[in-house]
Amino acid sequence: MPKISELAKVCKSKNAGPFEVTIDVMFETKEIFDKVEQTGVLCAALFSKLYNVPEKAVLFTIYPAALAFKGTIPRCTSSGDIGDTDVYGAQQHAPLLDVEIPI
C-alpha cells in the first residue's frame, strides 16, 4: 500500500496560534484526492490516534477545491514555552508521512 508521503504533493504543518498546530495534506490530482477521500483513512480519528489527543479536540476539514485535507490539533506545549521542541510547529506533520492508504 502506498504511504501518504508517496501520494501527497504537500504534507506540512505550522502553528495555528501558540496553542494549536494545523497539518495540511494536499494532492496533485483530483483522481488521487478522490481515491484517498473514499478510503476514509484521513479523518479526525486518525489525527487523534497519531497525536494522542481526544478526537473531539481535532478540527478536521476536507477542502475538495484545493484537493486538501486539514487537521488542527491542540499543542501539548504552547509555542515557545519551556519544553517546546518545535516553536513553529513545522515538524508536526511527520507522523502522517508513514500512514498507508489502501488504494
Nearest residue to 51 via CA among 95, 81, 89: 95
Cα–Cα dist 65/51, whole Å = 26
pLDDT digits (tens, 9 = 90+) for 13-56: 999 999 999 999 999 999 999 999 999 999 999 999 999 999 99
What is the DSSP secondary structure assignment for residue 54, as one 8-state letter? Answer: -
- 80 backbone dihedrals φ, ψ, rounded to 5°: 85, -5
**Domain 4-76 grouped into CATH 3.30.70:** yes
Full-prediction pTM beyond 0.85?
yes
Tell me the sheet residues that pair with 100: 3
Assign 62 a pLDDT band (cuts: 50, 70, 90): very high
Residue with cell 496560534: 17
CB 37 within 8 A of CB 27: no
